[in-house]
Chain A
Amino acid sequence: MKRMLAVFNARNKEFFRDRSTLTWNLLFPFLLLIGFYYVFGQAQPMFKVGVIAQQDAYLSRPVFMGLQHIQFIPYAQLDGALQRLERHQIDLVIDIDQSQYWVNEESSNGYMAEQLLVAKDPDFQRNLIRGKAIRYVDWVLPGIMGMNVMFSSLFGVGYAIVRYRKNGVLKRLHATPLTALEFISAQLLSRILMVVLIVMILFFGARALFATMMLGNLGLLLLTLLLGALALVSLGLLVAARLRSEEFTGGLLNMATWPMMGLSEVWFPLEGAPHFVHQLSALLPLTHLVQAMREIMLDGAGLVDISDHLLILVLMSAVFLALGASLFSWAPDSR
């Protein structure tokens, strides 16, 4: 008992004296809570209705739009709204100017929303579309692929470099003619190759198991994966450029990964989250990777459709790489 208590005490001291880990342990759950509070802050609506309208058409608002517990999501294009409707991601689409509505006859939610609309505004014209709901597994697969890229890239590059620096592998390599550029390139390329391999296994495995959707071009998906992995390994390099403490790096990497897990639509869509959450989300490389992959796989998007995401990934990679490479040091605070 005495021995057990002694070790118990020593371990407790270790925990409290390791400041970075302690802070992280305390801070992290709160950050998570605060994050979810804002993402899911409002009560979830019962129905989601897409609205097509000129801005000023809102002046002649249908009575239907005065109902509570229905979320109205404005769409600029009818096509986009109908695509969402087809997938059961929204329950109804109304065009205020044309007094028309579209409903998916295979959606039970759609049926209910339609009854409400017809009760309030009987003169709207009915349009029918059909389409199966996208299974969650189809929706979440690009998210999981993206998450895999993120963890493997950030930790595989960031953590490994800091460990090499701490245990002297970097110092030993520095004593050879190997240049920093050669070393960094080798690390990044190796990790990108591994990540793409692993994610491809995941992709084809999921297809074999669950016949997951793939409407787009495989080559484009590969390109997107490569660019996404490049952005994330570059971020890993930036985090690890000078650090020496594995614990601190672990904390920083967690701080980078968890917001991305929550805000990059890996597990759930951000529809209904406040505007600033969307803005925040757009700053994260994972968001662009996951959205681009999802558009390729679920919507059959082509290069032009996702070019904005790819461009942002390239720009982020360039910034992270330039900063990471210029800050990189073999042994920064070498005693």
Chain B
Amino acid sequence: MTKSFGRVKAVDNLTFTVPQGICFGLLGPNGAGKTTTIEMLEGIVKPDSGSLLLFGEPASKKQFKRVGIQFQNTALQDYLKVEETLHLFASLYDRTTPVADLMTLCALTEFGDQDARKLSGGQRQRLLLALALVNDPDLIFLDEPTTGLDPQARRNFWDLINLIKAQGKSIVLTTHYMDEAQILCDDIAIMDKGHIIARGAPGQLLAQHFTGVLVQLPKTNVAGQALPIPFFEKDDQLEIMTEKVDETLQSLIELGIPLTGMQVKNANLDDLFLKLTGHELRG
């Protein structure tokens, strides 16, 4: 699929398949084309060219009824209570999950009588997720579901998504949190500038691109010296990928570089993205 807005090609000739029953993650920085991609999959944005198959058939109204959607920013109708909002959406579909079950699943039972506008960030995301589940969908799209949530609320939300995964539903989510993708996703595609630049299971991608560990060193320690070893720059840190930590440290000491503030860690998706694109993910 391809989609341009004015002169900007938001999504450029993208092709991919998501197997049934998995949690698939679309990753990338702001402006990478994630939301455009997911909205084309949801049938909200019309692609300029290309086609979409849902459940193995050309996408049509019938298929979209089996899909649940959580947008990035959604206002709900004012003055409706949580339970009323759920009932409103339930009445728009033929096949539905009982509202009481949804409220239990998404821990909304005690907020049923509350004005939907007065929910906290985490409660609100859970309500939006419950709305996405109201038609008992087989496929669920979540667009940056945990953006703006505090760490505790994010963790709760992840537990919830794992529960839904356990029901055998397929999930497609976008995120720019690498840890979220690592925890939730069975399969990820990393997007940048409208293209997919890497695709695979998170662990497999990391193993493929990183051997060994990362040695991280504050830039100030190096202070203009030319390093003879390959490295990436990340914020105010230098990252050196190595299979043999002691040899790397040895050479750094020989160069007279102080090791204050040094860290040794396993590569994560953040590092992968930096390596793949040469620029930072959260920029």
Contact B61 A167 (CB under 8 A): no
Contact A174 B44 (CB under 8 A): yes
Q: Which residue of B71, B74, B76, B93 is within 8 Å of A177 (Cβ)? A: B93
Is B129 an interface residue when CB atoms closer than 8 A count as contact? no
Is B108 an interface residue when CB atoms closer than 8 A count as contact? no
Give the Cβ gap from A335 to chain B, nearest Cβ, in Å: 6
Contact B61 A169 (CB under 8 A): no
Contact B74 A169 (CB under 8 A): yes
Is B73 an interface residue when CB atoms closer than 8 A count as contact? yes
Contact B77 A169 (CB under 8 A): yes
Is A176 an interface residue when CB atoms closer than 8 A count as contact? yes
Q: Which residues of A contact B74 (CB under 8 A)?
A: 168-169, 171-172
Provide the bound-state CA to CA distance between A168 and B124, in Å. 15
Is B42 an interface residue when CB atoms closer than 8 A count as contact? yes
Contact B69 A175 (CB under 8 A): yes
Provide the bound-state CA to CA distance between A176 and B77, in Å. 15
Q: How many A-B residue pairs have CB under 8 A?
A: 42
Q: Which residues of B contact A172 (CB under 8 A)?
A: 69, 71, 74-76, 131
- Encode contact with A along B54-89: 1 for CB under 8 Å, 0 otherwise: 000000010011000101011111000000000001
Provide the bound-state CA to CA distance between A172 and B74, in Å. 7
Q: Which residue of A169, A176, A335 is within 8 Å of B76 (Cβ)? A: A169
Provide the bound-state CA to CA distance between A164 and B93, in Å. 21
Give the Cβ gap from A249 to chain B, nearest Cβ, in Å: 17
Is B92 an interface residue when CB atoms closer than 8 A count as contact? yes
Determine which residue in B61, B65, B75, B131 has the highest number of CB atoms from chain A within 10 A of its CB, and name it.
B75
Contact A175 B44 (CB under 8 A): yes
Q: Which residues of A contact B16 (CB under 8 A)?
A: none
Also in contact, A171 and B44, with CB within 8 A (given A176-B89, A177-B93, A335-B5):
yes
Provide the bound-state CA to CA distance between A228 and B54, in Å. 46
Determine which residue in A171, A175, A176 has the highest number of CB atoms from chain B within 10 A of its CB, and name it.
A175
Q: Which residues of A contact B135 (CB under 8 A)?
A: 176
Chain A positions near chain B (C-beta within 8 angstroms) = 164, 167-169, 171-178, 331, 334-335
In the complex, besides A168-B74, A172-B131, 5 extra interface pairs with C-beta distance below 8 angstroms are A169-B77, A172-B69, A172-B74, A172-B75, A177-B92
